[in-house]
Amino acid sequence: MNQTDDTLPAGEGENDATKGVITPSLDMLIDEHEEEVSENGKTVRRRGIFLLPNLITTVGLFCGFYAIVASMRGDFESAAIAIFFAALFDGLDGRVARLTNTSSKFGEEYDSLADMVSFGVAPALVMYSWGLSDLGKIGWSAAFVYVACAALRLARFNTQIDTADKNYFTGLASPAAAAVIASTVWVCQDLGWVGGNLPHEVSIIVSLLTAITGILMMANFPYYSFKGIDLHGRVPFFVMILIVLVIGLVTLDPPRILLAAFIIYAASGPVTFLMKLRKK
């Protein structure tokens, strides 16, 4: 019997086997992510990703994917609500990353890809499954215009993120555009307008709304980003009362109140643009 084998501490042989076999296998399957970061004025390479913000992004991505699955089952109300939850988590991941100092290039790219699914593909498919499929080529063309404009808007945003004004978006933000589509489906669902029951005139109107909403994402209209709101500072007491009143108003009729709010926000860009032109 080999004496050295008998004197090995318990589990040491298994650890050596793990290091020699399992770890290289995992390395061959999945490469560890590395990226350059700036620390104390020096550029260094760090391995791994931050868990919390990317976990929130993943939950938002799941909501967008669930919206697609729900629309395929004909559950359009759940699909619309899932898109709103995706928008909620999309607003959280960036703020959490900044508050916890866990921002990264990987997180930015992952968030952008998740946005494409949740606010580009999902709203278009939900709208198409709900009311545009009966229009034939007009229906899927309107849905494609929305998807293409969402992709172009996200690409432009990523290239201008370091130079753009933080207080304003150029073009309608994709979560707000998705909210317009989702709330429209939700309201019409409440009215009993679904698929074959949808009047032809309503189908034409929602197809135009889908295409126009997509174009607004690409237009050079300024939209207030709400990023300038200071969540750490003190505010007058009436602000809290106003927030409570807004929540109470939304609970009265969520689909119609949300639709009205996001339609007004979508229209604010062209109105602001025209006002600036008039001043010039």
- 187: closest CA among 261, 136, 277? 261
By residue range, what is the domain housing residue 50?
Answer: 42-228
Q: What are phi and psi of 155, to 5 degrees?
A: -65, -45
Q: Is 255 inside any structural domain?
A: no
Amino acid at 192: G
Rounded to whole angstroms, the Cα distance separating 226 from 204 reads: 33
Region of 49 (left: φ > 0; alpha: ψ -120 to 50; beta: rest) is beta
Q: Is 192 inside any structural domain?
A: yes
The greatest distance separating any two alpha carbons of the chain, rounded to the nearest whole angstrom, comes to 95
- 219: closest CA among 273, 262, 176, 264? 273
Query: What is the model's pLDDT at position 16?
Result: 47
Q: Is 268 inside any structural domain?
A: no
Query: What is the model's pLDDT at position 144?
Result: 97
Return averaged pLDDT per consecutive 10 residues of the chain, 280 residues in all. 44 45 57 61 65 92 97 93 95 86 86 95 95 88 96 89 75 94 92 76 91 94 80 77 88 91 94 85
Query: What is the model's pLDDT at position 195?
Result: 65
Q: Is 165 inside any structural domain?
A: yes
Query: What is the model's pLDDT at position 26?
Result: 53
Give me the CATH number covering residue 191.
Answer: 1.20.120.1760
Q: Is 219 inside any structural domain?
A: yes
Residues 6+ away with beta carbon under 8 Å from 130: 71, 76, 185, 188, 189, 194, 195
Q: Is 77 inside any structural domain?
A: yes
In this prediction the pTM is: 0.81
Q: Is 164 inside any structural domain?
A: yes
Handedness of CA 89, 94, 100, 104 (dihedral sign): positive
Amino acid at 118: S
Query: What's the gap between Cα 13 and its chain centre?
Result: 48
Q: Is 198 inside any structural domain?
A: yes
Rounded to whole angstroms, the Cα distance separating 112 from 117 reads: 9
Rounded to whole angstroms, the Cα distance separating 86 from 99 reads: 20
Bridge partners (DSSP) listed for residue 47: 34
Total domains in the chain come to 1
